[in-house]
Amino acid sequence: MSARRITLAAIALWLAACGTDATCKRDLPASCPSPAPSYATQVKAIVDTYCADCHRPGGQAADRPLDTYDATFQRRSAVLNQTYACAMPPPDFPQPTEDERVQLLGWLVCGAPNN
């Protein structure tokens, strides 16, 4: 396991220990799924559906954009932490399905490849 993946896993485990939401699934993959989820065909659609309204130019979280691969890659640790802790999307917003959550977390554990 690479140092980056160990760091991401450690952060996610720390967040899980803090656990603010008892209903939040603790579903971080132990390793990169094979095949790795695709940014182009899976992850981008998830981010566009659940994140982009706020995390885009003009959105309420415009200072933390997720509207491009590069922007999402730069914030991959925060996306992992916030998604794994069930902090994002906020509870009063539509939530990703279990399958979408697994794809997003798996992609992040794989190092957020541009695939």
Over the stretch 65-79, which tens digit does the pLDDT of each residue have? 999 999 999 999 999
Indicate the domain borders of the chain: 3-109
pLDDT at 23: 84
8 Å CB contact between 21 and 95: no
- Is the pLDDT at 3 greater than 70? The verdict is no
Look up the pTM and report it: 0.81
Alpha-carbon distance of 22 to 19, in angstroms, equals: 7
8 Å CB contact between 12 and 5: no
- Is the pLDDT at 19 greater than 50? The verdict is no
Alpha-carbon distance of 113 to 115, in angstroms, equals: 5
pLDDT at 60: 96
